[in-house]
Structure 1
């Protein structure tokens, strides 16, 4: 996606019309549209449509989605991490929010803006003069996939939402009822399946930011696992589909686990380097700039989530609040396999003080360890701005595909297959821990769940795993409460915040409430069943 950002002027579409950013890259990165161009005038050729496609991708890189709100505030509310701040009433990361919460509303509106951008492009691309059919199909495929993916994020987060396949041309005449949950997921699966042979399947040596065939297949595995589990309970049929799509990625031989320094994956993500030998990072949201020169994306990756860094100088290694800490549950999962190389990567052993010197945590400070995957000290930007940076965000890694394959194979036949063992053990071997073998269905199921925690913590996936496994409340309330009462849990300072979060957690917090503002304008939309009877 960064190649699209840098090499093309970019169109960003607004509700009811298309806003075209006509000037420089800095204008494109500004939040406010400068001009408006009718679709009848635009969409004449490949260049126009590529600009419009960049506008569809743009949603991923906003602060409302992967820049901070969806990726962290709305999604990192699980049992493996917590937000180290006290008395944060009304916030999603403390599960004390309601339908008036602004983070919820902003993410909702941004995702629907991306959907509308895709709809406008899909409405107009057939009339564009693009002689190469493969190019036109690729643009269509990426736009259709992104439209389906944005719907998936909405359904996964809000339970039942409107499926919008038509361009909104009149905001006053746009009311639409929610689609039932299972029906919506089935539509998303079908849409994504339609894209498999439309998108690119050759340029795997380029940026991991534009959607390719294996991206579609990998995300399809994720969506099918969601459909198989709670709350839609599609069962075996969808476990088999998940296995099919994960195996398609596996059989493509386009991706491998990075071998060597396990920190290198995350150093590449922080420093805008592409690993074209292994291609483990299959899909990234890319961010540019640091706000200093005005050419930047609003990303708090590395700042609100990342290791704790105290140097505010623009010439230092960067400042980071490091709000997100690992929990004792995550620590104990790593400790089940002594020598796991991912422990100190994921739960950093130190902070950087104001002079960039490392200050190491004591043995009694387990839950003060911050998320270590996104470290500003690894970035290459200079000068640095206090809050924003260029650290990319991984949406799909090959390690995730392997673990989805292991899970789906085990669930489909209620027993681990040879392929399931191969998949999970490939991830474990890279982490420096022993293989698993000769396990029952239930034992293998638990190993997969634990392995997903160790491998994918802090990547906006754990909450949704807990939900589809039907154990969110037990994990985020019961087990996290028990962990915060453990004598190893620090009771000083902000680290008591996890106890507040766990105490606040109810069954309804599996999903977000539909924003009150949206209910006020969409008169056909009702509050979802998880929140409709909740006292706010």
Structure 2
């Protein structure tokens, strides 16, 4: 189900023309008319609007994995035209990427709050009402989770805006925001349907809720909260998915990403996806940038046939060498070729590690024709079963040590890659192996930066990455981008526009 497509088809009917100059975003907040949300059709349109945020090219349909998470120990931003941004770690409170991220997340929250405030008075089936409420609650919780990961303490607002006077809101401590996130997601868990019933990666299933809850708890167990009791909760929720029987690893790693290029349903592996649609040339303009900005470098003149790609994201020496040469993931996740102006593949020299792009999503597999130079129909994985297994292994190891249970989940992921079981018997050794396995399995999927932060090793890891780039004679600018990281980069700055409009807002440390 292409949620975002359905939303835009009814956008004019969904929102009213009211304006709010200042609440938590640069552009106006839309205020709802009292005569909307009267039936199932209107509620569905409103719910699709809450989903709509996910797939926008400035969000998970493009910039979050490609630009916000470009510079880690597994990847670097290999396009020099843009001089400033989070991918250079030289951004500031006026940065467009930072401001847009803040604005979009609060837009999604405002839409969810509006829907939740109206749905109980809507004329619709009670079971359907409960499901919609669950999906809206989950998405509100997920948007707040994203906010606290990037910004720390943020204003917690749980009602929709009735007046432009609702402007000045204090930042809520991270711990309190997490309490609301968990409350929203746990209620959602009881309302949404099992994945085996939905059979659709674009719609929030019970597995999606449980998997993101496991991610939330792992984050809380690490920095900055260090609430290590939450490892037990993460273990519980990952275990629920594993024991549900609804999910299994796709036996062929590359097929996961080919399916996303071709909009082939694979909910057993891809539990939750941000969905894009078409070539961005119809009235809905629903294409994203997955495979275009972060695909295998292709300078083809006939891009409508071959598929143009900029190669923004490239591998580090560290990531490439984390792979065993027999690991089937390496030469799929990391390119072995580029494509010239004629669309002909040119092999990359074996010694040219830094010249290798992210290659998970390849434009040659798109079915939409003709192709657009800059937009693709490719979906993005928000949560995969492989991630759940690795979270399960991590939480089990932290709670009980290097048990057969932890090794079992880890080895399922390794075996799919063509690797034998690991038999690491100590907790510290298994902890390191799980962290490395997350890089191998989930590289370029926008998770590494937050993993490094919650593990408390982000700043040191990036300094080490910079040193390695210099030692291995990688691009000088990539070393600078990594070496720019300091304590202040653990959080983004609060956008300048919000600082100027919200009189109760306080800036993050070091900014």
Among candidates 145, 157, 167, match of residue 164 of structure 1 = 157
- Offset of residue 312 of structure 1: 3.6
Among candidates 397, 403, 409, match of residue 384 of structure 2 = 397
Shift in CA distance, 65/255, structure 1 to aligned 2, threshold 3 Å = same
Aligned runs of 1:409-424 on 2, under 5 Å?
409-413=396-400, 415-424=401-410
Q: Give me the whole-angstrom Cα distance separating, in 2, the residues matched to 1:456 and 1:202.
A: 22
Among candidates 449, 463, 471, match of residue 449 of structure 2 = 463
Among candidates 148, 151, 163, match of residue 155 of structure 1 = 148
Are 1:214 and 2:207 matched, yes or no?
Answer: yes
Structure 1 gap segments, 5+ residues each: 20-31
Task: Tell which deviates more after alignment, 429-438 or 454-463.
Answer: 429-438
Residue deviations 1:389-435 (CA, integer Å, cap 9, x gap): 1111100000000000000011123x122211110000000011121
Aligned equivalent of 1:28: none
Are 1:255 and 2:247 matched, yes or no?
Answer: yes
Task: Tell which deviates more after alignment, 296-305 or 360-369.
Answer: 296-305
Q: Give me the whole-angstrom Cα distance separating, in 1, the residues matched to 2:284 and 2:159.
A: 33
Shift in CA distance, 412/37, structure 1 to aligned 2, threshold 3 Å = closer
Using structure 1 for the length normalisation, give the TM-score. 0.90
Aligned runs of 1:219-368 on 2, under 5 Å?
219-235=212-228, 237-259=229-251, 261-275=252-266, 279-334=268-323, 337-368=324-355
Aligned equivalent of 1:10: 10
Residues 16 and 168 in structure 1, CA contact (< 8 A), matched pair in contact too? no
- Offset of residue 15 of structure 1: 9.1
Aligned equivalent of 1:25: none
- Offset of residue 18 of structure 1: 10
Among candidates 35, 40, 43, match of residue 46 of structure 1 = 40
SS at match of 2:498: helix
Aligned equivalent of 1:23: none
Q: Give me the whole-angstrom Cα distance separating, in 1, the residues matched to 2:162 and 2:235.
A: 40
Residues 61 and 379 in structure 2, CA contact (< 8 A), matched pair in contact too? no
Task: Tell which deviates more after alignment, 92-101 or 351-360.
Answer: 351-360
Are 1:429 and 2:408 matched, yes or no?
Answer: no
- Offset of residue 506 of structure 1: 1.1
- Offset of residue 383 of structure 1: 1.1
Shift in CA distance, 17/222, structure 1 to aligned 2, threshold 3 Å = farther
Residues 3 and 48 in structure 2, CA contact (< 8 A), matched pair in contact too? no
Q: Give me the whole-angstrom Cα distance separating, in 2, the residues matched to 1:157 and 1:323.
A: 22
- Offset of residue 367 of structure 1: 1.0
SS at match of 2:247: coil
Residues 16 and 169 in structure 1, CA contact (< 8 A), matched pair in contact too? no
Q: Give me the whole-angstrom Cα distance separating, in 2, the residues matched to 1:294 and 1:41.
A: 27
Q: Give me the whole-angstrom Cα distance separating, in 2, the residues matched to 1:47 and 1:170.
A: 26
Number of residues paired by the alignment? 503
Among candidates 366, 369, 373, match of residue 379 of structure 1 = 366
Residues 140 and 198 in structure 1, CA contact (< 8 A), matched pair in contact too? yes
Q: Give me the whole-angstrom Cα distance separating, in 2, the residues matched to 1:14 and 1:496.
A: 48
Structure 2 gap segments, 5+ residues each: 21-26
- Offset of residue 438 of structure 1: 4.0
Q: Give me the whole-angstrom Cα distance separating, in 1, the residues matched to 2:16 and 2:145.
A: 20
Q: CA RMSD in A?
A: 2.1
Aligned equivalent of 1:24: none
Aligned equivalent of 1:59: 53
Residues 499 and 505 in structure 2, CA contact (< 8 A), matched pair in contact too? yes
Shift in CA distance, 314/292, structure 1 to aligned 2, threshold 3 Å = farther
- Offset of residue 11 of structure 1: 3.9
Task: Tell which deviates more after alignment, 264-273 or 39-48.
Answer: 39-48
Aligned equivalent of 1:200: 193
Using structure 2 for the length normalisation, give the TM-score. 0.94
Residues 6 and 45 in structure 2, CA contact (< 8 A), matched pair in contact too? no
